[in-house]
Amino acid sequence: MLTSIIEAFKVPELRKKILFTLGILALYRLGAGIPVPGIPFNEFANAFADSGASMVMLDLFTGGALSNFSVFSLGIMPYITASIIMQLMQGVIPAVGRWAREGETGRRKITQITRYLTLVLGLINAIGYLFLFKSSAYGVVFSDQVPEMVTNVIVVFSLLVGTALIMWMGELITQRGVGNGMSLIIFTSIVSQVPGAIFSSLNLTGDFGMGLAVTALIIIVVLACVPAIIFMERAQRRIPVNYAKRIQGRRMMGGQTTYIPLKVNAAGVIPIIFASCLLYFPAQLAALFNVGWLTAAADAISQGWINWILTLVLIVFFAYFYTSMVFNPEETSDNLRKQGGFIPGVRPGSATTQYIKNVINRITLPGGLYIALIAVIPSILFSFTGNQLISAFGGTSILIMIGVALDTMSKIESQLKMHNYEGFFK
């Protein structure tokens, strides 16, 4: 793998893409440390330290930007929430569904609407955070050197511009860099919290020796789980396909055997991201309206047995939902029929479609349960130990990190193969 990375930097085009991606991610981390104008940094940091579990989890996905009340405090969540809404609308609004099937033209329309919706959600969240942090729960007093209304406009405008910049950075990485930009931004946010979590874990017990032993044990367990997670992420159910012999002109075509690869976890980390966004949405509403019962409900959903059950159910649901959106059995069956292919023992047409559906349904359930359990078990352990390292290396975090890393490496691998280099996966 190290050799492949070195070879990747030897290819000028790929080297530019990698450096461009790293440069954009560095700018993102720089923006996460720049507070909005007029914020009393020390006063706000002390107030945020006493916030509820829901705000702590939101801060994890912003890479600490929210606890700094930086220009990137809203993070990538408005864009992800907008993307979820547009994904759901494809099955509800016929026009949006037609756009999704139109190819590049339709995708441009969906992308444009997603951008506008992101700004609307970012504006709502920015106003909510402003009123939340000025409320009695935090009591943060902004700069009194300018009128309050001007300060409010500056804060909201800064947060909204930060959201637009994050969205722009993510799209730039996707278009000109390596990997999916939005996923890499989430990956960077989570990874940036790991050093602080390690330091917190070392000092949790007050005994450095004990803290070092606990921290080392957690890291060893995580490293031991990584190969198993990678194995499950790359596991496939292969459906054999035979092609009948046929004559085209003077050539004999077909007569070969291949397979349809169906991943056990075809949805990747998308179910976790979607489930996390839905579970943290009450926290965003609580930040907007600052109502006592809503804040209590958001904290309850963000931790404890309610969070564990909802996380399990939502991840399995989104595993089925997203798999059904990215893989169309009817289209696959129709393409096989047109190309003279058939599954041994299965009649072409509707029988093939139903067979593929049944296989997908059978392998999606263990795939969904696998990622759901990995997401829930570390949360349970964290609730009993209070070790921040378990939260930073938790199931949701580690699955996102491994999933994004595998996806990015696969894209680099495909670029390397174009230049006749061996890839990461041998």
pLDDT tens-digit readout, 142-173: 666 667 788 888 888 988 999 999 999 988 99
- Residues 6 or more apart whose CB falls under 8 angstroms from that of 181 comprise 24, 169, 170, 171, 172, 173, 174, 175
Q: Give the Å distances, CA to CA, from 249 to 62, 252, 254.
A: 60, 8, 13
Question: Is the four-CA dihedral 330, 335, 338, 342 of positive or negative sign?
Answer: negative
Kindly list the distances between the CA atom of residue 104 and the CA atoms of 76, 107, 214, 330, in Å, as whole numbers in the listed order: 24, 5, 51, 21
Query: Residues 196-201: what's their mean pLDDT?
Result: 75
Q: What is the pLDDT of residue 287?
A: 62
**How far apart, in whole angstroms, are the C-alpha atoms of residue 304 and residue 278?**
16
CB distance 12 to 420 below 8 Å: no
Identity of the amino acid at 299: D
Between the alpha carbon of residue 136 and those of residues 65, 139, 190, 210, the distances in Å are 22, 5, 30, 39
Return the SS3 of 261.
strand
Q: What residue spans of 251-394 are helical by DSSP H?
A: 270-289, 292-301, 304-326, 329-338, 350-385, 388-392
Tokens of residue 416, six digits: 């390397």
Mean pLDDT of the chain: 78
Compute CA 406 distance to the chain's CA centroid, rounded to the nearest angstrom.
13
Handedness of CA 209, 212, 216, 217 (dihedral sign): positive
pLDDT digits (tens, 9 = 90+) for 212-269: 777 787 778 777 777 877 888 788 888 888 877 666 656 655 567 788 888 888 877 7
| CA distances in angstroms from 29 to 32, 192, 398, 424, listed in the order given | 5, 8, 20, 27
Cβ atoms of 307 and 280 closer than 8 Å: no
Q: Which two tokens stand for residue 258?
A: 């291949």
CA pair distance 139, 43, nearest whole angstrom: 9
With H, G, I as helix, E, B as strand and everything else as coil, classify residue 246.
strand
| Average pLDDT for 11-16 | 82
DSSP, collapsed to helix, strand or coil, labels residue 140 as coil
Q: Which of 131, 190, 156, 141 is nearest to 41 (CA)?
A: 141
**Confidence category of residue 288, pLDDT binned at 50, 70, 90:** low
Among 407, 396, 129, CA closest to 275: 396
CA 203 to chain centroid, in Å, comes to 30
By the 10 Å C-beta count (0-12 exposed, 13-18 middle, 19+ buried), 344 is classed as exposed
Q: List Cβ neighbours of 366 (8 Å cut-off, separation of 6 or more).
A: 264
Radius of gyration for the alpha carbons in the chain, expressed in angstroms and rounded: 24
What is the rounded distance in angstroms from the CA atom of residue 370 to the CA atom of residue 377? 11
pLDDT tens-digit readout, 102-142: 777 888 888 889 999 999 988 988 887 787 777 666 666 66
The string of pLDDT tens digits covering residues 56-113 is 666 777 777 877 788 888 888 888 888 878 877 877 788 887 887 777 788 888 888 9
**Domains along the chain with CATH numbers:** 1-191 (1.10.3370.10), 230-393 (1.10.3370.10)
Give the Cβ contact number of residue 46 at 10 Å. Answer: 12
Backbone angles phi, psi at 8, to 5 degrees: -60, -35
